[in-house]
Amino acid sequence: MSKAVRVDVLEGARIAFFSLGANRMRTVLTTVGIGIGVATLLAIVGIIQGLNSSFEKQLAGIGSNTLYLSRFPWVMKGDWWQYRNRKVFTLPQVEQIRSQASYVTAISPYVNRNADVSFGGEQLSAVDVGGVLPEYFSISAYEIVSGRPLTSADDAVTRPVVVIGGSVVDGLFPGMDPVGRTIRIDGRPFQVVGTLSRKGKLLDEDQDLIVMIPFKTFYAVFGKGRPFNIAIAIERAEDIKKAEDQLVSVVRRVRGTPPGEPDDFSINRPEQLAQTYEQLTGALFGVAVGVGFITLLVGGIGIMNIMLVSVRERTREIGIRRALGARKRTIVLQFLMEASAVSAVGGLLGTVVGLGTAKVVSLITPLAADVQMLTVVGGVGFAALVGLLFGIWPAARAANLDPVEALRYE
C-alpha cells in the first residue's frame, strides 16, 4: 500500500468515526437494523447446526458398520400396503443368511413391543421390550455396565431374565443396584441380570427406556405372532456397500424371490436416516438464511438512506475539503468506511445476541445449539459487506459533487 493511499485510509477512518460519533442516535438505529438481521440469522443457523451435530452423535450410537433387515424401509417411498404384504422373516432364514453372507460377523433377530414395567410401588409405561439373541448387544453398540449380558443358555431354556436401560434404572431403582432384583413386565416376573450403557435420544425417542429379554423367552411370554427384524454387523465400515450388495442376492435366494421380481425386504442403514434428516433441516436452513438475508437487505437499504442523508447534510463540508485539495478517492473511502463500520458493529452486536439466543434456547428447550466459528466470522463479514455495497452509491455521489456548487450549498 502506497503512502498516499495509507494516508487516505487513516484520514478517512478518522473522519468516518468522528461523523458516527457526532450522530449517535442515527448510528445506533442503523446499527440495530443490521444487528437484528445478523442475530436472526445466527440464532436459527446455530440451532440447526446444533441439531445436526446432535443427530450425528445419536446416529453414531447405532453403529457405522450395521445393517438392519426388515419388511419396511425406514424411509417409506410408495404405498404402505406394498410393504405390509411382504412375507415375514423366519428363524431358519436368519441362520441361512448367517452361513451364506461372508461379510456378516454377527446377526440377531429383534422383536419388540411396548409394555408396563414395574418394581415395588414404581411403574413405567410404554417401555420398549426387546427380544434378542446375545449377539445383538455387540451389533447395536449396547454395553453392559453392571451384571452380565444375556446368554445363549438363557435363550435355549427361555429363562425369565432381563437387562435394563438407564432410564428404567432411574425410574425404578433410584439409588439402588437393580442387579438380582425382580421386576414385572406386564405383570410377569423377570430377574434383572444386567444394566445397559446409556445412548440418549434419537429423533426425540428415549433409547434408554428399554429392557431386553432372550428372544425365545419373548415369544414364550408374549406369543409368536409378532414379526421380527434382523440386525447385522459388518466387520469393517468401509465394506458396508459390498456387504449390502451381497445381502441383496443372499436374502433374495433365501426368501425364494423369483428373478425379475422386486425385493420383498428392505436393507436399512443409519446413513439413510441422516440423508432424510439433512433434507429436512436443509429446507429449514434455506428458509432461515433467506429470512436473515432479507433482514440484512432491509438494514442495507437503511444504511444507504442514512448515508444519502449524511451526504446532503455534509455537502458544504465536502465542498471545502475538495477545494482544499482532497481527492475523490479520499471522499469515497471516508463514506465507505463509515457505512462498513456501522454494519460491522451491528454485525458484531447481532452475533452476540444471536449466539446468546441460541444458547438460551438450548438451555430451556430440547433443541441443541452449536454455532461454528466459520458461521460467526461469515455473519460479521457479510454484515460489513452489506454496508460496503450499500455505501457505494452514497460515497460515489459525495465524491462527484462539484466543489463550487457544494460550497454554495446552504
pLDDT at 217 over 80: yes
Give the residue among 112, 190, 93 at the shortest CA–CA distance from 150. Answer: 190
The answer to whether residues 262 and 242 touch, using CB atoms and an 8 Å cutoff, is no
CA distance readout (Å), 393 to 308, 385, 387: 8, 14, 11
Angle at 73 (CA atoms; ends 69, 74), nearest 5 degrees? 105
- Of residues 320 and 229, more confidently modeled: 229
pLDDT at 177 over 80: yes
Beta-bridged to residue 123, according to DSSP, are 118
199 residue type, one letter: K
Q: How far is the C-alpha of 203 from the C-alpha of 218, rounded, in Å?
A: 26
Query: Considering the chain, what percentage of its residues have pLDDT values greater than 70?
Result: 78
Buried b (16+ CB within 10 A) or exposed e, 226-249: eebbbbbbbeeeeebeebbebbee
For the stretch 30-41, pLDDT in tens is 777 777 777 777
Give the SS3 label for residue 256.
Answer: coil
Q: How far is the C-alpha of 166 from the C-alpha of 172, rounded, in Å?
A: 10
Is the Cα dihedral 203, 206, 212, 217 positive or negative? negative
Q: The C-alpha cell of 209 is what?
A: 427406556
pLDDT score of 7 = 45
Angle at 249 (CA atoms; ends 243, 252), nearest 5 degrees? 130
pLDDT score of 181 = 95
Domain locations in the chain as residue ranges = 3-58+274-408, 66-269
Q: How far is the C-alpha of 43 from the C-alpha of 53, rounded, in Å?
A: 15
For the stretch 240-268, pLDDT in tens is 889 989 999 999 999 988 888 888 888 88
Locate cell 466459528: which residue?
Answer: 373
Give the residue among 44, 27, 4 at the shortest CA–CA distance from 289. Answer: 44
- Of residues 236 and 149, more confidently modeled: 149
pLDDT score of 5 = 46
pLDDT at 24 over 70: no
Highest mean pLDDT among 54-58, 140-144, 397-401: 140-144
Q: Which residues contact 406 (CB under 8 A, 6 or more apart)?
A: 315, 316, 318, 319, 320, 322
What mean pLDDT is predicted for residues 110-131? 93
What mean pLDDT is predicted for residues 336-341? 73
Give the residue among 36, 97, 79 at the shortest CA–CA distance from 292. Answer: 36
Question: DSSP readout, 321-388?
Answer: HHHTT--HHHHHHHHHHHHHHHHHHHHHHHHHHHHHHHHHHHHHSS------HHHHHHHHHHHHHHHH
Q: Which residues contact 173 (CB under 8 A, 6 or more apart)?
A: 119, 181
What mean pLDDT is predicted for residues 394-401? 73
Question: DSSP readout, 267-306?
Answer: EE-HHHHHHHHHHHHHHHHHHHHHHHHHHHHHHHHHHHHH
Backbone torsions φ then ψ of 34, nearest 5 degrees: -70, -40
pLDDT score of 147 = 93
pLDDT score of 250 = 93
Q: The C-alpha cell of 287 is what?
A: 428458509
pLDDT at 61 over 70: no
Helix (H) or strand (E) holding 233: strand 229-234
Q: How far is the C-alpha of 71 from the C-alpha of 268, rounded, in Å?
A: 10
Least confident window among 36-50, 134-148, 159-173: 36-50
The answer to whether residues 306 and 30 touch, using CB atoms and an 8 Å cutoff, is yes
CA distance readout (Å), 320 to 237, 328, 408: 73, 13, 10
What mean pLDDT is predicted for residues 151-161? 95
